[in-house]
Structure 1
């Protein structure tokens, strides 16, 4: 499928798509830097053997696993390797790994020489349906997740479903949280497919059900990105018990942040020791509770959040204290001034912005979240 952006690119989904990397790089490239985590060292070495030639110099940039890769020190290491290898604007950075790796690789490409080409090879469900598509790149800081970054579109994304076969079950479930999100904000057929197929088929990495879910999730992300690459469509609005923007007004790419405000806060408080999808799963139930208390959605839709996510063994409750999470939420990228803004639903597949929700409502929603009831 194609992502319509300032520089359109294709996302290839299927089995064996990684074989198309050479063609995507092109004949004029002289240097390639493959950014990869420790756990994919063997796969990166295999890629180097397959790509390397007298005309193409392939460098491997091994970085820590997971969110530990998204640090300023790791970014500086990557810059140093590019400098020492003579990397120019005609060369290409390749991100091989999950969402954290592709976030880092894209930011390396965005910042080196003010922007060089890059290609994403996501190896997880999360990477395929979320991080690798959309042109958002960045690293974390002590203040929060993804607060430093740049919009930098890839030349292409190769989603090879064969790479999911060896993916640990917990990582597969974590990625599916983002797919479920796409079902609630845009494509209810995703929810129906999960509900009708059952967890055994959904969680089978070789099943056509999972392949269809991944494809549907990518389609939602591609459509949102194509219509609003730099998150300029969303409306800020003002405080109050009703949402400041409606789905008819359009909130653009911000809809993809459904569940992420609390989710990112949880990740920060847990020092990124919790999987992204697990945190987002909790975050979705939280904003469903908030929307219910503002009279936007009924209790049945809140319950559906819990049921679908629980069927995939994703968490729907959180036992931690709320005050530090609220403080972290106020640093979210969607915040404007002191105004906290949440992506909520006004109905199934109708995302909107709730600006300035009352703190009492937020706390009551968190209590309901911890108690597992609306």
Structure 2
């Protein structure tokens, strides 16, 4: 484990009808406080025991039960959800109890949906232990599970009472998992705060560095600001889905062999190509630079027809078809429909770069 950085904490406020605070920095799990006499802790089974122990000690003596769930997207199923709900009921967690989610973004999505569903809603607190979870899943109140037909098709808006982003937990992540999570932080740079673009790719964007907590908190603040203004995705919140239309399709078609952050890296490059094709500034060098840095999991050879049905089920789609988040320029996102001919043409350009250009070094595999 790397040394803990000098104590430096940041708080990011999320406003709206249900305001809450995101605490960011080392040792935050030890500071966790929950206003409930009985608590259920739902955690990703891959979370190191040291972080489970740290949070459990902070929640004691109110901790009623601990429920491990499968790692990653494997936990976001109706079957796992049903099992969790049954355990909450068997333990007789009361209406004034609380659910705490600990782990990656998938585990906290599941825990939040369990909290939203059990007894028609109990208090929810979340402690993400991955960079992806901190920057994206833990903030904004979106909870849910997947269906075979697509990602996040079942869920609810259920904002947490508090979010604890303990940067110490990131020191135990494999490097590839850390780089995966950086995709959402980099995306926030493209759509809102361009200063994050260089900061995310800088050598000191590592847990424990003097600047890490501030960069992480600033990336979180982008999402916090958006969801404060648009919790239910009536408008601006859709911009947070830059790169996600193809990303979710890649996850689905590979049965999640390609993790979310890696899929977002690929998806951002496709969205940048579409943005350019639709008359926007050419931002593809930014997305290429990120992919070179991220080195995402390799993709199987895919055609446009492989991914199009999944893109058609994207949550931004409406009765008239698929909509994409594109960029006029840095920090100037917009939501629009793109003609199918353009989608197919630019997918071909994307294909050539990903598999034939050699600049990324990806190889084919069978998921």
- Residue 93 of structure 1 aligns to a residue in which SS? strand
Residues 1:294 and 2:278 aligned together: yes
Give the TM-score taking structure 1 as reference length. 0.88
> Displacement of 1:20 after TM fit?
1.8
> Displacement of 1:314 after TM fit?
3.9
Distance 1:286 1:41 in 2: 35
CA gap of 1:296–1:315, structure 2 versus 1, over 3 A, is farther
Distance 1:194 1:71 in 2: 32
**Which residue is equivalent to 2:170?**
164
Distance 2:92 2:299 in 1: 50
> Displacement of 1:317 after TM fit?
8.0
Cα-Cα RMSD: 1.7
Distance 1:223 1:178 in 2: 15
Distance 2:300 2:273 in 1: 13
Distance 2:56 2:279 in 1: 55
Distance 1:50 1:225 in 2: 28
Aligned positions of 1:179-328 closer than 5 A: 179-194=185-200, 197=202, 200-202=203-205, 204-232=206-234, 234=235, 252-298=236-282, 301-314=283-296, 319-328=301-310
Mapped contact 2:29–2:55 kept (Cα < 8 A): no
**Which residue is equivalent to 2:18?**
7
Distance 2:329 2:225 in 1: 20
Give unpaired runs (5+ residues) of structure 2.
Answer: 1-11, 358-367
Aligned residues: 342
Distance 2:92 2:305 in 1: 49
Mapped contact 1:48–1:58 kept (Cα < 8 A): no
> Displacement of 1:290 after TM fit?
0.8
> Displacement of 1:335 after TM fit?
0.2
- Residue 165 of structure 1 aligns to a residue in which SS? helix
> Displacement of 1:16 after TM fit?
0.6
Mapped contact 1:34–1:44 kept (Cα < 8 A): no
Distance 2:160 2:58 in 1: 21
> Displacement of 1:46 after TM fit?
4.9
Give the TM-score taking structure 2 as reference length. 0.89
Aligned positions of 1:15-164 closer than 5 A: 15-21=26-32, 24-26=33-35, 29-40=36-47, 42=49, 43-53=51-61, 56-164=62-170
Mapped contact 1:126–1:178 kept (Cα < 8 A): yes
